[in-house]
Every structure is written in structure tokens, then in C-alpha cells.
Amino acid sequence: MAERRLQLIDDSNRGNHSHLRPNDLCAFLREFTSGQGWRGGETNQLVENLKKKRGQGGYGYKPGAIAQCAFEIANAVDKQWLATGTLVPIPPSKMRDDLDYDDRMLQVCKEIAVHAGVQADVRDLLRQTVSTHSFREGARLSVEELAALYEIDEAVATPAPNAIALIDDVLTAGTHFKAAQLVLQRRFPAAQIYGVFWARRVFPAPDPAIWLDPGPI
């Protein structure tokens, strides 16, 4: 696998992620093209495999996608940071006892530690208290509405983390990151919170033929 470098969300690309603010420290490795499904290229195929549900065609590709996501993040994040910071998966849309609960990002966090070869602090600090449809299935919640569904798992809240990397597969508007950040900041006000994403969403370039074609004359 080719080694990839983290790229920052900054003034040049933040416009695609409407909830993020200039003081949000977020980075990504790949770009996922919206609206194109698996036909959108390698990253789209990997993300689609990562999100596969039990019983869905191609579910056997999911473990490989988890492993590749973890490998790429492990090789991109500073090892010294991994040895001292805390990796926290952004929770899925389902409660932990829901039959459709998908802990893929927790698995990614655990495999990051393995690939990095460090004793990383991996904690499933956040959980969703009500099962909802995922955003890709049409659910649309505000940052505040989503934050109201999150709670801290106090069983793993001690000791208080000093630096947290929220790990997720695709950065879209930034709703999940901001909701998780809000809840974690209330509980751990001294902690620095980062976002690390396997990919960020981008939109396909418009077909120039659409606006160059003069139409019937």
C-alpha cells in the first residue's frame, strides 16, 4: 500500500464542510467523490466496502477495508502523538445493543494501534443513546440535535485524556465531528480535540458540455 500523508482542512477546502470553523483541527488522507458510489474510483470503492452492512452483497470486503483504513492512518499520524494521545471513534447511528450496530471505526482505532506498534490509548468514549437512520440514509440532524443523542461512557472516561483524535471514515458537512467535539469538550474542557478522517467528501466537477452546449438554435 502506498503511504499517504495527512492533509489539513483549511481555508482552501473548508467550504465543502459547512459546520467546520477555522479553529477546528481536522485532517484527511483521501477524497471521496459524492454521488458516484463505487464507480467514483478507488477511494469510493474502499469507503463503500467499509460501510457494508451484515448480509449485504460484498460484506466480505469489509475487513480488508477496515485494515487498509487503519494502516493508512497509522502510517500518517505521528507515532509520538499516538503514544500519548487518545483515539476515539465517532459513534455510528445505532445504539450499541441494536442489531445493526456497526463498530467499524472502533475496529479501525484498535488496528491503528497494532499497525503503529505503540501502546495507543483507544477508548470508545461516545455512544449514541437512540438509534437513528444514518445521514446517508436520509437522516438530517443539526449539530445540537445530534449532540443531544450522544453521551459519555463514564466506564472509560478515567483518566481524563489530554488530547483526543476523533476518527471517522468520511468528513461531509462536519456534523458528527462538531457534535462529538461539543460533548467531549463539556466533559474534558482541557483536552485538545482533533479530527482525523480517512477521506473528505468532494463534489464532482461539472460537465463543461452542459454549459458549453448552446442547445437548439
Q: Which whole number is the average pLDDT over 160-188?
A: 99
pLDDT at residue 105 above 60? yes
Question: What angle is formed at CA 198 by the lines to CA 195 and CA 202, rounded to 5 degrees?
Answer: 95
Spell 14-26 as b/e; 16+ CB within 10 A means b.
Answer: bebbebbeeebeb
In the prediction, which pLDDT does 39 show?
87
Is residue 25 within 8 Å of 163, Cβ to Cβ? no
| Pairwise CA distance, residues 177 & 185, whole Å | 12
Mean pLDDT computed over every residue of the chain = 93
| Pairwise CA distance, residues 217 & 204, whole Å | 29
Residue 173: name the closest of 68, 18, 66, 14 by CA: 18
pLDDT tens for residues 15-43? 999 999 999 999 999 999 998 888 889 99
Q: Which whole number is the average pLDDT over 31-57?
A: 93
Q: Name residue, grid cell 445493526.
A: 100
Q: Name residue, grid cell 503514544.
A: 83
| Pairwise CA distance, residues 141 & 132, whole Å | 10
